[in-house]
Amino acid sequence: MWTCWWLWPLVAVCTADQFLDQAKRIMQTTPVIDGHNDLPWQLLLRFNNELRQKNANLNTLTGTHTNIPKLRAGFVGGQFWSAYTPCDTQNKDAVKRTLEQIDVIHRMCQMYPETFQCVTTSQGIREAFRAGKVASLIGVEGGHSIDSSLGVLRALYQLGMRYLTLTHSCNTPWADNWLVDTGDHDAQHSGLSDDFGKSVVREMNRLGVIIDLAHVSVATMKAALNQSQAPVIFSHSSAFALCKHWRNVPDDVLQLVKRTGSLVMVNFYNDYVACKREANLSQVADHLDHIKKVAGAGAVGFGGDFD
């Protein structure tokens, strides 16, 4: 009796170590890329983007999910940093505020060149990874950041934006957000507007800015998946079948993800993983498994949504 008691815990421990070693080996040879991290937003809230403040040192930063030692411990090979400005800046200073968040990301790369390398291409990701740096990319979170201007869209591309989330938690004049599906907001466009919404998708395809469908309504997901010539991403969304939160991706949309070679980068936020205030890693793994089951292994990614 007592041998079993000892044996089974030992077996469990050995297996866990073996998987950890394997995971580390994979992460050292293939860059793990995370789709969404809001550290730049924390830098604004806590330090007014003043990176030289003593407490803003990213090597010793506390009180955030993210700092340099944690990125290293997690073998993060590539990170999309979020350039986010809240919906209440829509039609006000959204463009300026977005530029300021892009600026703080560039300054992170300049201040910590031994850790971050700002890149804009897949080739750049590979080079940064080979040099032992965290390849740093910019995602702009919310279509309100372009202020209904293709000129602003193109200028943000020049500044390094490589994905744009079509909405945050507000409708834009050309796309509906997820709060339409909860009934909190009125649908305005049955997804994407016929004129400007479709032009935005076309221009993003032409430039090479990834279309991000985290935060959009289901109708917008379907319209964008239909319109886009290129695969799209959900930079930080999980599976609706496992947690019926409208920030997640329903199964019929996962079918379209599969058909278009698109990618769902699973969110680690408790409310979206477990529909409660507490979640654990095995529940995150359940989301990865579900997306793999419905849309295939190629559709599975990470979009931790830390900070």
Catalytic (active-site) positions: 36, 38, 141, 168, 215, 236, 305
Residue 62 touching ligand NAG (CB under 6 A): no
From candidates 158, 183, 282, 297, binder to ligand NAG by CB under 6 A: 282
| Nearer residue to ligand NAG within complex by CB, 125 or 273 | 273
In the complex, minimum distance from the CB of residue 175 to ligand NAG, in angstroms, rounded to a whole number:
17
Residue 2: exposed, middle, or buried by beta-carbon count in 10 A (0-12, 13-18, 19+)?
exposed
239 - beta bridge partners? 249
Residue 15 touching ligand NAG (CB under 6 A): no
| Nearer residue to ligand NAG within complex by CB, 49 or 190 | 190
Q: How many residues bind ligand NAG (CB under 6 A)?
A: 4
Report the C-alpha gap between 68 and 42 in whole angstroms: 14
Contacts of ligand NAG in 162-191 (CB under 6 A): none
From candidates 11, 30, 280, 298, binder to ligand NAG by CB under 6 A: 280
From candidates 53, 60, 91, 226, binder to ligand NAG by CB under 6 A: 226
Quote the distance between the C-alpha of residue 150 and its chain's center.
23
Pick the closest to residue 286 from 276, 303, 300 (CA basis): 300
Residue 270 touching ligand NAG (CB under 6 A): no
Please say whether the beta carbons of 83 and 145 come within 8 A. yes
In the complex, minimum distance from the CB of residue 174 to ligand NAG, in angstroms, rounded to a whole number:
18
From candidates 111, 188, 283, 307, binder to ligand NAG by CB under 6 A: 283
Residue 255 touching ligand NAG (CB under 6 A): no
Contacts of ligand NAG in 119-148 (CB under 6 A): none
In the complex, minimum distance from the CB of residue 172 to ligand NAG, in angstroms, rounded to a whole number:
22
Whole-number Cα distances in Å, 55 to 46, 81, 173? 9, 20, 40
In the complex, minimum distance from the CB of residue 225 to ligand NAG, in angstroms, rounded to a whole number:
7
| Nearer residue to ligand NAG within complex by CB, 173 or 250 | 250
- Applying CB under 6 A, which part among 43-51, 139-147, 275-283, 293-301 lies near ligand NAG? 275-283
- Applying CB under 6 A, which part among 82-90, 166-174, 280-288, 290-298 lies near ligand NAG? 280-288
User: For binding to ligand NAG (CB under 6 A), which residues are involved?
Assistant: 226, 280, 282-283
